[in-house]
Structure 1
Amino acid sequence: MDTEMNTGRGVDAPADGLGLRESKKRETRQLISDHATRLFLQQGFERTTIAEIAAAARVAKKTVTNYFPRKEDLALDHQEEFVAGLARTVADRQPGQSALTALRLAFQAAVTAQDPVAGFAGPEFSRMIAASPTLSACLRALHDRREAALAHALAEATGAPADDITARTAAALLAAVHRTLFQRIQELTLAGRGNPDIAAVLTEETTRAFDLLEPALAHYAVRGPERSPSGQ
């Protein structure tokens, strides 16, 4: 447990700046998540029940579902970060930088960092996902949602309508590269390769994958120069 609470009888706020009530809620959420993950890894996602998770965490079943409305939310707890990541990278790209360049650099950084959100989840977690039809379907849906969010961000970046076919096609191409590389990391993980070895392989394969998009997208959604406050 990494949540720490102040022990000063409520006189002082917790050290992390959260109120006592909010800190307790975060601690309970983490406790439930920790026990759920342990049980999923021990006996599989499909076989584990909400009742078992509640019993392990010593909370009511209703408490579990209040924090995690779906059982999948207990296993895939970085969903919103995953869905929003590509769109956020496009929105935050530097002046003169295309969407493709920004996304390429961000993914390369994720490979270097061996980021779990990029797919470096480790063998036990990867096996759990692969063995569960529910989680596999949920992951596919998250990839689809991420593509839709990226299409929206590209339309905004280019001043196009929300249903612009160019933005949607560009998002499909960019999301496909990310999906393929994510699956590649999972494939190598399940084959017994360690994260440093996988990162070395992906460093080269990432370059090849993104290079395929250069002819079509090298000059698409390039961010213009920032204006000074005076408009000059």
Structure 2
Amino acid sequence: MSKLKGAVTVITGASSGIGAATAIKIASLGGVVVLAARNEEKLQAIVTQIKEAGGEASYHITDVSKRESLQSLVQFAEATYGKVDALVNNAGLMLFSDWKDVAIDDWEKMISTNIQGYLNAIAAVLPKMLDQGHGKILNMSSVAGLHVGASSGVYSATKFFIRGITESLRKEVGVQNGIQVSMISPGVIDTGWADKVNDEAGREAAQKLNEIAITPEQIADAVAYALDQPANLTVNDIVIHPTKQDW
């Protein structure tokens, strides 16, 4: 039996892509999922799909860049299901641009979501996990947190940040308090992100990368594997990328 059965997992960035695929996967294993994102229409559709398949899910409109929004999300999950067993810190934004473009607005959006958003989510779940003596935090990073590619300097920097905080959490709240802290670093995935790139040259580079992309469902399988482990075992870091990706 899956250890996810009956466990309550909060998933940020759950209205599409990896987050949505992860919610569907965990629910299929008997887990309870709380989906968080800003797009209510998409969240409703995914929750309906999960419930029609016999799973248990709910959603809460959430802006990860706002601390109070994450606190409200966790309070909702606890009020609805009585606990939070796991957090999938997934909400992210990838905007490519060259340094010469000085795309400050894009930089700030990525910092707000990819850095502050992760910290806000951790701050919202960690105190209760420490009190209850168990919990799982899975941070979604990227191979861009291992290798810096063209037109992705600030994005890569945010993913290096995620790698740093994950390792720190593992050594502190993992080793000392038994909280299972994991990270998954996907390669190129087709989540529709390429169409969101504002910079023309950056968008062309992103669309080119997408030609070899793997699916969100393949990453969701890895998330489920990492979370479906006994308390004495933590999957610290999984790197997954298309076979034809050379970095």
TM-score (norm 2): 0.30
Of Structure 1 and Structure 2, the greater helix share is in 1
Of Structure 1 and Structure 2, the greater strand share is in 2
Q: Work out which of the two has the higher radius of gyration on C-alpha atoms and give 1 or 2.
A: 1
TM-score (norm 1): 0.31
